[in-house]
Amino acid sequence: MKVAVIGTGYVGLVTGVVLAQLGNDVICVDKDLDKVEKLKNGIPPIYEPGVEEMLRQGLKDGFLTISDSIKEATEASEVIFIAVGTPPAEDGTPDLTAVRAVANEIAKHIMRYTVVVNKSTVPVGSGDMVEKIILSHGVDSSLFDVVSNPEFLREGSAIHDTLHPDRIVIGAKRRDAAVKLVELYATLQSPMIVTDLNSAELIKYGANSFLAMKISFINAISRICELCDANVADVAAGMGSDKRVGNQFLSAGLGWGGSCFPKDVQGMVKVSEDLGYDFGLLKEVIQINEDQTLAFIARLEERLDGFNGKRIALMGLAFKPNTDDIRDAKSLVIIDKVLAGGGEVIAYDPIAEANVREIYPSIDYATGVYELGVNADALVLVTEWNEFRQLDLERLADKMRQRVLFDGRRVYDKAKAERAGFEYHTIGSH
């Protein structure tokens, strides 16, 4: 099939390279000329395992083309995915400026029947909005359909998730349009849920809000565990082995961040409000998440008797392992608080350092994880990269001023850390 993908971020680029690998003729478009230039040379502008190889293969085989022209893409394609960013506006409403801009541009160049697909995460009613934009350019309604096909991939395992999705959601007003996407995805042999536009849009917000709620729920339990000397890992294992609860997304930690959960939960609250429903539960989910991080930082600050003059070493900066994405990462909150309290920060991340450097050029960055310990007053595990799991803790502790370890992701065994000379603190157990 001839396919265009507009926006070459985490979602658009992964969608593009996977569809090209499946033998479709794919044009990936971005308005950022630097990105376009890099992509043409086989260099992905984001870090995502496996993408570089697939990008190069797609370019080499000729199934993948990179362009900065929506005109070229529209003229060449039967299906056009809109995969641009929908960041939160000041009031939490998703900002649809980029979606509208792309819809306007597509509309100018539709010449034959085209299926326009919203892959970006957009509030209920956005499919109708895109349809109205295209109609406003005088395009006949028989020449196009708008379909909602929300994306559920996870950064860090995006290629795998795109090739093996738990389900594919397709929302459309007309059956023929839905069938076009069913055909495009048929080869993946994944369950498909075909529904109307509004329901498809709501599935995405509902799923992300529910997952964030699960994390906030176990984080609230972790606070209770700290108060009553219970162990949140055991509580989570006991709860999660009930199939109705399920054991995923029940790991207590510093809270959820990243480019999706914060904006989508906030978006769901706003969308509900606009429709006349006060989603109080989700407001509490957000509050618990913020409190979880701040309570952890407060414990660290109290233990060190204030941050003033203290050197805090951060292990990991990305919002989660296997990505360079730092949007709403907990590391940023910790850096802010330490610096505001008069402390110093040294940080190490295998991939995300360059992105954090753009925000904090003057904190220290270690070239390797063992350098973190030198003269540090506390070591804080922020992102649970695999390479941090089996470290030689004695070597890490060796040159520290104070051997204090705050494990924000419950990775280390307390007894082992203590044997290495650490005073060990974590979330949800003593």
Residues that bind ligand NAD (CB under 6 A): 6-12, 29-32, 35, 83-86, 98, 101-102, 120-121, 151, 153, 155, 259-260
Looking at the Cβ atoms of 120 and 322, the one nearer to ligand NAD is 120
d(CA 252, CA 221): 8
Q: Is 304 strand, coil or helix?
A: coil
Kindly give, in sequence order, each residue whose CB lies less than 8 Å from that of residue 303, ignoring residues fewer than 6 positions away: 378, 404, 406, 425
Can you read off the two tokens belonging to residue 361? 């050029």
Looking at the Cβ atoms of 98 and 396, the one nearer to ligand NAD is 98
Kindly give, in sequence order, each residue whose CB lies less than 8 Å from that of residue 225, ignoring residues fewer than 6 positions away: 231, 232, 235, 252, 428, 429
* Shortest Cβ 62–ligand NAD spacing (Å): 22
* Shortest Cβ 259–ligand NAD spacing (Å): 5
* Shortest Cβ 302–ligand NAD spacing (Å): 35
d(CA 267, CA 208): 10
Looking at the Cβ atoms of 226 and 349, the one nearer to ligand NAD is 349
Phi/psi for 404 (5° steps) reads: -110, 125
Looking at the Cβ atoms of 45 and 240, the one nearer to ligand NAD is 45
Looking at the Cβ atoms of 38 and 303, the one nearer to ligand NAD is 38
* Shortest Cβ 319–ligand NAD spacing (Å): 10
* Shortest Cβ 307–ligand NAD spacing (Å): 32
CA proximity to 263, closest of 84, 46, 127, 93: 93
Partnered with residue 315 across adjacent β-strands are 348, 381
Report CA Rg, the chain.
23
Looking at the Cβ atoms of 184 and 300, the one nearer to ligand NAD is 184
Write down the number of H helices and E strands in the chain. 16, 14
CA proximity to 126, closest of 161, 158, 84, 168: 84
Sign of the alpha-carbon torsion through 15, 21, 22, 27: positive
* Shortest Cβ 155–ligand NAD spacing (Å): 4
* Shortest Cβ 320–ligand NAD spacing (Å): 10
* Shortest Cβ 32–ligand NAD spacing (Å): 4
Q: How many residues does the chain have?
A: 430
Q: Is 59 strand, coil or helix?
A: helix
Phi/psi for 285 (5° steps) reads: -60, -40
Looking at the Cβ atoms of 352 and 397, the one nearer to ligand NAD is 352
DSSP readout, 305-373? T-STT-EEEEE--SSSTT----TT-HHHHHHHHHHHTT-EEEEE-TTTHHHHHHH-TTSEE-SSGGGGG
Looking at the Cβ atoms of 102 and 235, the one nearer to ligand NAD is 102
CA proximity to 152, closest of 263, 273, 15, 321: 15
CA proximity to 296, closest of 257, 355, 342, 337: 337
Looking at the Cβ atoms of 171 and 373, the one nearer to ligand NAD is 171
147 touches 168 (CB < 8 A): no
Can you read off the two tokens belonging to residue 66? 């990179």
Task: Tell me whether residue 260 is one of the annotated catalytic residues.
Answer: yes
d(CA 344, CA 384): 22
Residue with smallest beta-carbon separation from ligand NAD = 9
* Shortest Cβ 280–ligand NAD spacing (Å): 24
Catalytic residue among 28, 225, 228, 260: 260
Catalytic residues: 260
